[in-house]
Structure 1
């Protein structure tokens, strides 16, 4: 249970095997590819032996893959949005599969042909839709002029002229008044709340007068150049619209039939995403007309497994592979961190990752804080009913195949359901109700006992944190630092506890004296140690005194652990208050609206309790525990792998 031991991997093969090897390494999902063209001490040999080799350009191929991925996404979206609702969509069900099997069963030619077919359907559908919209707009306009009983294009008289236009209803009264006043014949063809559509017939000698009226009242002219009446054109449009509707219905059925292809499109997307990830690292390895060479980081214990895995795809005689210990420079500047814990601790790694991964040579804090987080979370939620519900939901969810991140998240809460139930039994709380037995700790009568227990848990965790701080100092042979940063503070805590117990609980002067002497001696060590380490004794004394002033921070740390008591009691009290509220209802309301109210209120309380326990539990680890010994700053191990958007990739022999 620590940071995995890593080795530097070197693989050399004829360039013809490069694609197969890369695909196999990606399916293995346990090798992080190094950038051989990065200017570091570890890559100095590249310039000596491969000075003519340039990083491989991959932008063209990447662009091609990204275009295909975009086309797949658009095709799936189009099929689901416009396909017939009578057809059922067949999405790719998450499953475990080897990458080799996926790529061997993938027929790119068939996929591209099907994708083009779908794109053609989309083009035809959108073209038809655009025609329909155009006809609808034209129909909407002509419906307002269908009462026009002559064809303007065929109208031609020497003495008279005509005008078709539209006016705002507010201005129409004034327009109408002027028409009557000037003895201009007009006829309203269509009117609604927004526009008045009309026609004018007037002598040519009044043309300037009409034009002035058009400008004065901002009248919009309507130009109709078709050789048939508007109502006849309207009939043609309506007939064409009906034909387009039938055509669109046919296309909708054809698109709906493509819903069975969604599964294949999603599988193609998974494979293309895998190819994209391979192309993203093409600039990191060496490849010329003769040789393919890559380096990477791998867990030392996984090396033999990788050799067997590669041998299944490429004969061992066709490549050379070895591992070596990382150099000091690589440990300090380059090597990634991969945590290694058992299946009970592994879900808690996400809390470490949220804060910061340890450096390669640093202790992994996950197994050290896991028992405390386990206890603290249960103590803050502390309801057997809530815990049982968590256990049932997470167990049922985990029976299905989930994305790896979601699977770890569910496992995290499945484990935490156990302490939640245990503390619920200790407090005698089941969805806020109490069973007929005397609880080990009562949230109403034993508040002080729970408070003291919370602080005791805090003292134990801080004590372990200081021990880890001393251990880390000893690891780098900084023995004085181990005393001042670890053992001395443990001495102060131990002395304070012994002295307090001797004075308050045991009423023993001897215990009190031992505690005071131990605490005083430890405090003296904190002050003196920096003086020994520093060239300037005065500066060392000041540094030691400042370090000792940090004891006030320990008081604040211990007070922080009282939230274990506060949150546990508040959550149970709120649940009990909800139950009491419903119990006051009449029997009919209690077993109708009351049930719904209980579900809503307890659902809200569960959410808030879990959120509070998750956040405050993490806060106690990050501030009170990590602050004593943990630095972090490690770089995450990022192996060449697939996206696993739809399929969980497994190593299959």
Structure 2
């Protein structure tokens, strides 16, 4: 239960095996590829023997993959949005598989054929939409002119002419008055709140007057050149629209039938994403027309398994494998961190990752804080009913294949359901109700006892944190630092506890004096140790005095642990208050509206209780515990793997 030991892997093979090897490494999911051209650590030989810069693979490969991924995403979106609702969209049910299995099932020609078929449907669907848009625009226009009862070719008077126009409704009355004053014949064809369509018949000698009116009132000329009257054209357009709607429905059914292809499209997308991830690291290794050489980091313990796997796949005679211990410079500047814990502790690694991973040479804090977080979370939620509900929900969720992150999250809360039930039984709380036996600790009568217990837990955790600080200093051969940062503070804490017991509980003066002497000696060590470490004794003394002043922060740390008591009591009290509120309702309301109210109120309380316990439990680790010994700043181990967007990729063996 620590940071995994890492080794540097070197692999050399013939160039022809490069893609096969990269696919195997990606399926193995345990090797992080080093960038031989960007990493300056231990890569002097690259410049010496490979003078040319990093190979620049053709962008055509990436462009092709990106284009296919874009087409797949667009096709799925098009099918879902425009396909008939009669057919059910069959999305890929999350499953587990090896990358090799996925790639063997991948048929690029079938994918391209399916995408072409969908694109043709989309083109026809788009053309139909455009046709309908044009028809609707024409229909809307003709509806405003359907009262027109003559055509241009029917108007054959030599001395007269006609005019069709549209004017803003706000100026129509004024224009109409001008027309009447000039004794020009007009007809109102259509009008609404926004516009007016009209026709004029006038003598040709009055053309200048008409033009003046058109200009004065910003009249828009309407030209109608069809061979049939607007009402006849309108009827024909409406018939075509009815036919196009039927055609659109038929296309929607055809598109809906493509929903059965969504699964295969998503599977193809998963494989293409794997191809893209492999392509993205093509500039990290050496590859020419003869040789393929890469380096990477992998867990030392997994090398034998990787060696057997790759030799079986490629043939031992076709490649060269070697691992070596990382140098001090590589440990300081490059090597990644991978945590290694058992199944119970592993879900809690996400809390460490949220804060910061340890450096390669640093202790993994996860197994040290996990028992405390386990206890603290249960103590803050502290309801057996809530815990049972958590356990049931997470267990049911884990029976399905979940994304990796969600799976770890479910395991995390499944484990935390156990202390929640235990503390609920201790507090005798089941959805805010009593289980009918005297509680071991009562949230109403034993508040002081719960408060003291919270502080005791805090003292234990801080004491362990100081011990870890001393351990880290000893590992670094900083023995004086182990005294000043760890043992001396532990001595003050032990002295204070012993002195307090002797004075207040056991009434023992000798025991009290032992505690006082131990605390004083420890305080002197905190002051004097920096003097021994510093060249300037005065600066060392000042630093030691400042360090001792930090004892005030320890008081604040212990006070922080009282939130364990406060949140545990408040959550149970709120649940009991909800029950009391519903209990005051009449029987009819209690078993109708009351049930819904209970579900809503307890649902809210569960959410707030879990959120509070999650956040405050993490804060106690990050501030009060990690602050005593933990630095962090490690770089996460990022092996070559797939996106796992739809499928959990199993490690190939």
Q: TM-score range by the shorter chain?
A: over 0.9
Question: 2:636 matched to which residue of 1?
Answer: 636
Could you give the per-residue CA deviations for residues 243-271 of structure 1, whole angstroms, max 9, x where no partner exists?
32232222212211111111110000000
Q: Which residue of 1 aligns with 2:578?
A: 578
Q: 1:196: Cα distance to partner? A: 2.0
1:529 corresponding residue in structure 2:
529
Q: Give distance in 2, aligned partners of 1:265 and 1:129.
A: 26
**CA–CA distance in structure 1, aligned partners of residues 58 and 7 of structure 2:** 28
In structure 1, distance between residues paired with 2:312 and 2:222: 77
Greater displacement, 227-236 / 152-161: 152-161
Superposition deviation, residue 209 in structure 1 = 2.5
Alignment partners' CA distance in 2, 1:223 and 1:493: 98
Alpha-carbon deviation of 1:220?
2.8
Task: Tell me the equivalent position of 1:543.
Answer: 543
In the TM superposition, residue 216 of structure 1 has moved relative to its aligned partner by: 2.9
The correspondence of residues 13-92 of structure 1 with structure 2, limited to 5 A, is 13-52=13-52, 54-92=54-92
Tell me the equivalent position of 1:194.
194
Three-state SS of the structure 2 residue aligned to 1:443 is coil
For 1:390, the equivalent position in structure 2 comes to 390
Distance 2:256 2:434 in 1: 56
Separation in structure 2 between the aligned mates of residue 616 and residue 499 of structure 1, nearest angstrom? 31
Is 1:276 aligned with 2:276?
A: yes
CA displacement at 1:53 relative to structure 2 = 5.6
Q: Give the structure 2 partner of residue 353 of structure 1.
A: 353
> Residues 88-115 of structure 1, C-alpha deviation per residue, up to 9 Å, x if partnerless?
2221111111111111121111111111
Q: Which residue of 2 aligns with 1:380?
A: 380
Task: Confirm or deny that 1:2 pairs with 2:2.
Answer: yes
- Partner Cα separation in structure 2 for residue 255 and residue 427 of structure 1: 59
Aligned to 1:120: 120
CA distance in 2, matches of 1:52, 1:628: 49
In the TM superposition, 1:401-480 aligns within 5 A as 401-480=401-480
Q: Which runs of 4+ in 1 moved over 4 A?
A: none
State the Cα distance separating 1:501 from its structure 2 match. 1.4
CA distance in 1 between counterparts of 2:199 and 2:471 reads 98
**TM-score, normalising length: structure 2:** 0.98
2:498 corresponds to: 498
* In 2: Cα distance, 1:459 partner to 1:39 partner: 45
Matched, 1:109 2:82: no
Is contact 1:154-1:227 (8 Å) kept?
no
1:434 aligned counterpart, secondary structure = coil
Per-residue CA shift, 1:475-518, capped at 9, x if unaligned? 01000000000000001111111111111111211111111111
Structure 1 residue 539: deviation in Å? 0.4
1:37/1:55 contact within 8 Å kept: no
Kept in 1: contact 2:12–2:291 (CA 8 A): yes
Distance 1:603 1:69 in 2: 41
Once the 2 structures are TM-superposed, how far is the Cα of residue 60 of structure 1 from its aligned partner?
Answer: 2.4
Cα deviation, residue 331, structure 1: 0.3
Q: What is the alpha-carbon distance in structure 2 between the residues aligned to residue 436 and residue 180 of structure 1?
A: 97
Q: What do the CA deviations read for 1:9-63 (whole angstroms, capped 9, x no partner)? A: 0000000000000000000000000000015131110111111363232532112
In the alignment, the residues of structure 1 paired with residue 363 and residue 340 of structure 2 have an alpha-carbon distance, to the nearest angstrom, of 11
SS of 2:166's partner is strand
Relative to structure 2, which stretch is displaced further, 222-231 or 330-339? Answer: 222-231
Give the distance between the partners of 1:441 and 1:222, measured in 2 at CA.
Answer: 89
Q: Once the two structures are superposed, what CA deviation does each residue of 1:206-236 show, in whole Å capped at 9, x if it has no partner? A: 2232233333333333232323321222223
Deviations 1:385-431 (A, max 9, x none): 10000000000000001111100000000000000111111111111
Q: Deviations over 1:58-83 (max 9, x none)?
A: 53211211111010000001111111
Contact kept? 2:470, 2:486, Cα under 8 Å: yes
In the alignment, the residues of structure 1 paired with residue 158 and residue 615 of structure 2 have an alpha-carbon distance, to the nearest angstrom, of 89
Residue segments in structure 2 that go unaligned for 5+ positions in a row: none
Tell me, yes or no, if the aligned pair for 1:75 and 1:115 is still in contact at 8 Å.
yes
Distance 1:39 1:88, change over 3 A: closer
Residue equivalent to 2:264: 264
Contact kept in structure 2, 1:8 and 1:296, CA below 8 Å = yes
Q: Which residue of 2 aligns with 1:233?
A: 233
Per-residue deviation, 1:86: 1.5
SS at match of 2:43: helix
Which whole-Å CA distance do the structure 2 matches of 1:209 and 1:614 have between them?
A: 84
Counterpart in the other structure of 2:94: 94
User: Deviation string for 1:106-156 (max 9, x for gaps)?
Assistant: 111111111111111111111111111111111111111111111236545
Contact 1:84 1:253 in 2 (8 A): yes
2:559 is matched with which residue? Answer: 559
- The reply to whether residue 182 of structure 1 matches residue 185 of structure 2 is no
Q: Indicate conservation of the 8 Å contact 1:385/1:430, yes or no.
A: yes
Contact 1:58 1:280 in 2 (8 A): no
Does the CA contact (< 8 Å) of 2:27 and 2:652 recur in 1? no
Say if 1:53 and 1:288, in contact at 8 Å, map to a contact too. no
